[in-house]
């Protein structure tokens, strides 16, 4: 418990300092940032987010992967008051190249839940949700503070988490179905907090306590709760409504989707009432506030915010970032979702098995013939400086590539009046991205000619010789000396090995501690007499060459130079790497991406083959960097990063900056199922159409069923061009249509009671030609069509239909020729028109 009088110290100018207690010893730390959060994807219920602590510390202190207590201190007269903010575990230590300080990132005890979940409970007895949570805490080494919560006595009859889920995912599922937020308190204990249960206001924040406050809209109270299996399955949801509230505020729903504890209707019925009682009426005032950091405020604390007119609003601390010792750079937030309707939706990662089981068991004999929905999100991401490596890529476009501003990246060179260019001047100002891959070339053994100066091995765009083995028979050697020379920007390491008919005789590494470019080895007389062949194996050799347009030879030489003997032959038994998919794109950015702090910084994002820059920072008239009130989004237009299968690299030429990339990885399902990324891509890239695909693939690119549909927007009065030119395509092994007057049976029979088929008018029990006539074009029609094809005039929808004389859905010169022939009487019109 934090003494109340300590809090007062934060309401005036402060002198703060921070320490950690590591193995019982106090160490000073600086540049501290403490980040708390419980708001994820527009939702607070069911979240379990670790607090993150970042700071710098002297690099003489061994802190890697260690646990420590974090204490912040504030000066009170001539003494410092201490507040303990709990224990943290180090996850990252980053050395600084120019100082003796390390940058450290640590997480609170929520990190302990990042372990595979295992349960030893006997589910044949009446195991409650509380017992599941208690066992989870025991296994994670956590103390549970909250023993009373909604649905705590719900009977869990089986373990739904046995497919390698993390304990964190189980905790999230429990928090979700109990209407709570899982968080680690400053006493290091796990708490499940229901915001509606927090009745005490921790603090009143008036204008004397904040620098700026953006007080946003009120979220509307939750008045509908739905627990559902999947929004695609009708009837698999259970809903409770508060009609009185709906009449006043309209519908504001909380949707819990695919919670593993609620996988049957019976279970949903059992869970929903207590859950609704907890979340019903939940509302808050959204706000964002810059202020002196108040570390005694914890996640989900209730606060009262007073605006400039002293009007009070109730809200919560859902997100904060405290800094120290410069505490005035802190902020707290209760973010709000953009949509008018408050809709929360959680999709827990562990629902799949339970959901599928019910579909198979309960739906097998009904009209839904098992929804084929094995959609997986199989992506990977990475963050790095300058050049980043994307491992195990599936061929296709990168999902997301982001460059974060640092005031340097894409900054141009501004020459002064007195600048005299030299030959070595490297111009800045480009915004080039270099994308390439390092993949093995087709595997095959190859005979290499050894010239008088040894083996010369080279490829066009050769960059890597890892795994290269050169075998030389003893009879090709003239003496006991082996010379290795590598023209490499980096280094080469490897072994020289001698064999007697395949049995090892000696092995010598030609690099010891430091990388070498040249080495020699003298085989002893004794070994030389015994061997029948030698092997030179490179297990690390990298030749980075930016110039990939020139055929380049001789990166590696292996020779036996003593007698400069002519022409030897050796065999490479493993293949070197070759670079391909090598290209450069210019983003056309001329203004640097700027940086104030890790929250306020510009970024460039390539997504969906489009590049945008979000500029959060501007330069004021004095040259200072100032945060924009509204970020400026610049659309750079079409840009792509195409990856080939294997490892790919993205390199920002000329600059260094932090980059992030997310890509689809090759996985065991690549050839069987489409990934959700592919699905997402196909939806987002089509502006007014929906592409529904049943996801199971037969081969790499064959899909057994597909429906392509184009739809009109509400405000589209006329049919847009892209729909006129579109196609509705239904592809499946069997298609069945049942309508009032038309039936198509799965075995291909057509039953129609009305319509028009091959020039025949279909009526009840008869086919006639009555009511229809054949369209005979005139010279005027010909001129109109010709003018349309030339792009000089428009046609009505009826004309578009009539002039499409060959019925290929395209008006072109073929229709024009056909029309001329029909007018001349050399061909007959088959175009039917209703009288």
Partner 1 sequence: MVFLRHNNFEFKNILSENYNIQEDIYDVLATETMADGSVRRNYGILPKTTIKIKFGRLNASDMTTYMSHFENNEGTYTYFSPKSNSTKTAIFYVEKPENSIVYADDSSKEYGEFEVTLKQIGVVS
Q: Which residues bind partner 1 (CB under 8 A)?
A: 12-17, 75, 206-213, 292, 308, 325-329
* Residue 485: its H or E element: strand 481-486
Between 305 and 465, CB nearer to partner 1: 305
**Burial status of residue 734 (CB atoms within 10 A of its CB: 0-12, 13-18, 19 or more):** exposed
Between 14 and 724, CB nearer to partner 1: 14
Cα Rg of the chain (Å, integer): 35
The distance of closest approach from Cβ of residue 49 to partner 1 in the complex, given in angstroms and rounded to an integer, is: 27
The residues, ordered by sequence, that sit 6+ positions from 163 with a Cβ below 8 Å of its Cβ are: 350, 352, 353
The distance of closest approach from Cβ of residue 437 to partner 1 in the complex, given in angstroms and rounded to an integer, is: 47
The distance of closest approach from Cβ of residue 214 to partner 1 in the complex, given in angstroms and rounded to an integer, is: 11
CB 280 within 8 Å of CB 195: no
Between 329 and 615, CB nearer to partner 1: 329
The distance of closest approach from Cβ of residue 593 to partner 1 in the complex, given in angstroms and rounded to an integer, is: 25
The distance of closest approach from Cβ of residue 324 to partner 1 in the complex, given in angstroms and rounded to an integer, is: 8
CA distances from 717 to 75, 164, 726, 793 (A): 69, 52, 17, 20
The distance of closest approach from Cβ of residue 305 to partner 1 in the complex, given in angstroms and rounded to an integer, is: 11
Residues 374 and 352: their CA atoms lie apart, in Å, by 9
Helix (H, G, I), strand (E, B) or coil at 802: helix
Between 15 and 759, CB nearer to partner 1: 15
Between 17 and 189, CB nearer to partner 1: 17
Between 312 and 797, CB nearer to partner 1: 312
The residues, ordered by sequence, that sit 6+ positions from 186 with a Cβ below 8 Å of its Cβ are: 2, 84, 85, 86, 298
Residues 156 and 143: their CA atoms lie apart, in Å, by 22
**Burial status of residue 160 (CB atoms within 10 A of its CB: 0-12, 13-18, 19 or more):** buried
Helix axes 779-789, 813-824, angle to 10 degrees: 170
* Residue 362: its H or E element: helix 352-363
CA distances from 251 to 229, 320, 744 (A): 21, 30, 41
705's tokens: 């069923």
Between 210 and 649, CB nearer to partner 1: 210
What is residue 317's DSSP assignment? -
> In the block, which residue shows the tokens 């949801």?
237
Between 54 and 582, CB nearer to partner 1: 54
The distance of closest approach from Cβ of residue 347 to partner 1 in the complex, given in angstroms and rounded to an integer, is: 40
- Asked, as a colleague might, if the bond just before 325 is cis with ω within 30 of 0, I would say yes
Between 289 and 677, CB nearer to partner 1: 289
- Closest-CA residue to 631 (of 677, 600, 654, 596): 600
Between 17 and 618, CB nearer to partner 1: 17
Residues 72 and 240: their CA atoms lie apart, in Å, by 46
Residues 330 and 295: their CA atoms lie apart, in Å, by 10
The distance of closest approach from Cβ of residue 103 to partner 1 in the complex, given in angstroms and rounded to an integer, is: 19
The distance of closest approach from Cβ of residue 99 to partner 1 in the complex, given in angstroms and rounded to an integer, is: 15
Between 207 and 734, CB nearer to partner 1: 207
The distance of closest approach from Cβ of residue 394 to partner 1 in the complex, given in angstroms and rounded to an integer, is: 47
How many residues does this entry show for the chain? 835
Residues 438 and 177: their CA atoms lie apart, in Å, by 47
The distance of closest approach from Cβ of residue 11 to partner 1 in the complex, given in angstroms and rounded to an integer, is: 9
Ramachandran quadrant class, 665 (left: phi over 0; alpha: psi -120 to 50; beta: rest): beta
Residues 346 and 352: their CA atoms lie apart, in Å, by 13
Between 212 and 725, CB nearer to partner 1: 212
Between 13 and 367, CB nearer to partner 1: 13
CB neighbourhood size of 331 (10 A): 18
Helix axes 167-178, 129-140, angle to 10 degrees: 150
The distance of closest approach from Cβ of residue 254 to partner 1 in the complex, given in angstroms and rounded to an integer, is: 34
CB 609 within 8 Å of CB 637: no
Between 331 and 462, CB nearer to partner 1: 331
- Closest-CA residue to 581 (of 538, 520, 643): 643
Helix (H, G, I), strand (E, B) or coil at 614: strand
DSSP letters along 125-145, please?
A: S--BHHHHHHHHHHHHT--B-
Residues 703 and 726: their CA atoms lie apart, in Å, by 20
Beta bridge mates, 493: 540
CB 305 within 8 Å of CB 313: yes
Longest distance between any two alpha carbons in the chain, whole Å: 109
The distance of closest approach from Cβ of residue 225 to partner 1 in the complex, given in angstroms and rounded to an integer, is: 38
Residues 110 and 51: their CA atoms lie apart, in Å, by 8
Between 146 and 292, CB nearer to partner 1: 292
The distance of closest approach from Cβ of residue 302 to partner 1 in the complex, given in angstroms and rounded to an integer, is: 21
The distance of closest approach from Cβ of residue 84 to partner 1 in the complex, given in angstroms and rounded to an integer, is: 19
Between 259 and 292, CB nearer to partner 1: 292
The distance of closest approach from Cβ of residue 596 to partner 1 in the complex, given in angstroms and rounded to an integer, is: 13
Helix axes 167-178, 265-279, angle to 10 degrees: 70
Residues 429 and 595: their CA atoms lie apart, in Å, by 18
Residues 834 and 50: their CA atoms lie apart, in Å, by 70
Between 308 and 717, CB nearer to partner 1: 308
Between 15 and 118, CB nearer to partner 1: 15
CB 395 within 8 Å of CB 580: no
- Pairing mode of beta strands 201-205, 302-306: parallel
The distance of closest approach from Cβ of residue 293 to partner 1 in the complex, given in angstroms and rounded to an integer, is: 9
The distance of closest approach from Cβ of residue 208 to partner 1 in the complex, given in angstroms and rounded to an integer, is: 5
Helix (H, G, I), strand (E, B) or coil at 167: helix
């Amino acid at each position: 418990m934090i003494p109340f009088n300590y809090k007062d110290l934060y309401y005036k100018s402060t002198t703060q300092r921070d320490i950690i207690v590591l193995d019982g010893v106090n160490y000073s730390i600086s540049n501290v940032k403490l980040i708390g959060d419980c708001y994820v994807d527009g939702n607070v219920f069911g979240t379990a987010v670790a607090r993150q602590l970042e700071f710098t510390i002297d690099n003489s202190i061994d802190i890697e992967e260690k646990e420590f207590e974090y204490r912040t201190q504030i000066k009170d007269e001539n003494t410092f008051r201490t507040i303990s903010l709990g224990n943290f575990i180090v996850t990252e230590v980053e050395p600084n190249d120019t100082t003796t300080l390390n940058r450290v990132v640590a997480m609170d005890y929520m990190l302990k839940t990042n372990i595979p979940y295992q349960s030893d409970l006997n589910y044949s007895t009446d195991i409650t949700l509380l017992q599941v949570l208690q066992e989870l805490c025991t296994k994670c080494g956590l103390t549970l503070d909250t023993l009373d919560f909604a649905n705590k006595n719900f009977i869990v009859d089986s373990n739904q988490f046995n497919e390698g889920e993390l304990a964190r995912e189980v905790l999230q599922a429990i928090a979700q179905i109990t209407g709570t937020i899982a968080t680690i308190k400053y006493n290091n204990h796990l708490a499940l907090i229901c915001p509606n249960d927090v009745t005490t206001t921790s603090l009143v924040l008036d204008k004397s306590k904040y620098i700026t406050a953006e007080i946003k809209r009120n979220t509307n109270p939750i008045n509908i709760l739905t627990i559902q299996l999947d929004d695609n399955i009708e009837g698999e949801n259970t809903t409770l409504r508060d009609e009185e509230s709906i009449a006043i505020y309209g519908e504001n729903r909380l949707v819990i989707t695919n919670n593993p504890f609620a996988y049957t209707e019976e279970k949903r019925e059992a869970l929903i009432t207590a859950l609704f009682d907890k979340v019903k009426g939940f509302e808050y005032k959204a706000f964002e506030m810059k202020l002196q950091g108040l570390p005694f405020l914890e996640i989900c604390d209730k606060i009262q915010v007073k605006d400039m007119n002293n009007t009070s609003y109730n809200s919560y601390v859902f997100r904060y970032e405290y800094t120290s010792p410069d505490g005035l750079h802190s902020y707290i937030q209760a973010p709000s979702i953009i949509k008018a309707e408050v809709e929360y939706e959680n999709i827990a990662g562990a629902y799949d098995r339970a959901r599928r089981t019910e579909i198979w068991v309960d739906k097998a004999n009904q009209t839904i013939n098992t929804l084929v929905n094995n959609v997986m999100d199989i992506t990977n991401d990475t963050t790095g400086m300058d050049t980043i490596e994307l491992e195990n890529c599936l061929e296709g476009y990168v999902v997301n590539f982001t460059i974060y501003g640092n005031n340097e990246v894409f900054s141009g060179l501004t020459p002064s009046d007195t600048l005299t260019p030299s030959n070595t001047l490297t111009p800045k100002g480009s915004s080039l991205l270099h994308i390439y891959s390092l993949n093995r070339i087709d595997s095959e053994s190859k005979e290499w000619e050894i010239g008088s100066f040894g083996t010369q091995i080279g490829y066009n765009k050769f960059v890597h010789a890892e795994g290269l083995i050169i075998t030389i028979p003893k009879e090709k050697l003239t003496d006991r000396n082996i010379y290795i020379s590598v023209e490499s920007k980096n280094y080469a390491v490897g072994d020289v090995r001698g064999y007697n008919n395949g049995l090892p005789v000696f092995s010598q590494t030609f690099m010891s501690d430091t990388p070498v470019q040249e080495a020699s080895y003298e085989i002893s007389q004794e070994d030389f007499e015994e061997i029948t062949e030698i092997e030179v194996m490179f297990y690390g050799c990298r030749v980075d060459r930016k110039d990939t347009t020139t055929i380049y030879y001789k990166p590696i030489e292996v020779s036996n130079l003593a007698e400069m003997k002519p022409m030897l032959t050796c065999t490479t038994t493993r293949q070197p790497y070759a670079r391909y998919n090598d290209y450069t794109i210019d983003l056309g950015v001329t203004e640097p991406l700027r940086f104030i702090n890790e929250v306020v910084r510009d970024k460039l994002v390539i997504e969906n083959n489009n590049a945008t820059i979000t500029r959060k920072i501007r330069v004021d008239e004095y040259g200072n960097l100032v945060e924009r009130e509204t970020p400026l989004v610049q659309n750079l237009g079409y840009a792509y990063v195409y990856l080939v299968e294997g490892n790919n690299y993205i390199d920002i030429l000329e600059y260094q900056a932090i980059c992030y990339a997310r890509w689809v990885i090759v996985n065991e399902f690549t050839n069987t199922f489409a990934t959700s990324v592919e699905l997402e891509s196909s939806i987002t890239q089509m502006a007014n159409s929906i592409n529904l695909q049943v996801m199971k693939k037969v081969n790499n690119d064959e899909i057994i069923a597909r429906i392509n549909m184009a739809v009109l927007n509400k405000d589209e009065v006329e049919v847009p061009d892209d729909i006129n030119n579109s196609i509705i395509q239904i592809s499946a092994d069997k298609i069945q249509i049942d309508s009032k007057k038309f039936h198509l049976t799965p075995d291909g029979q057509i039953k129609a009671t009305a319509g028009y088929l091959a020039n025949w008018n279909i009526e009840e029990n008869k086919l006639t030609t009555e009511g229809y006539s054949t369209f005979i074009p005139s010279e005027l029609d010909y001129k109109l069509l010709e003018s349309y094809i030339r792009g000089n005039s428009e046609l009505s929808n009826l004309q578009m239909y009539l002039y499409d004389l060959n019925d290929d859905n395209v008006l072109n010169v073929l229709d024009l020729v056909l029309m001329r022939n029909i007018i001349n009487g050399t061909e007959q019109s088959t175009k039917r028109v209703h009288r």
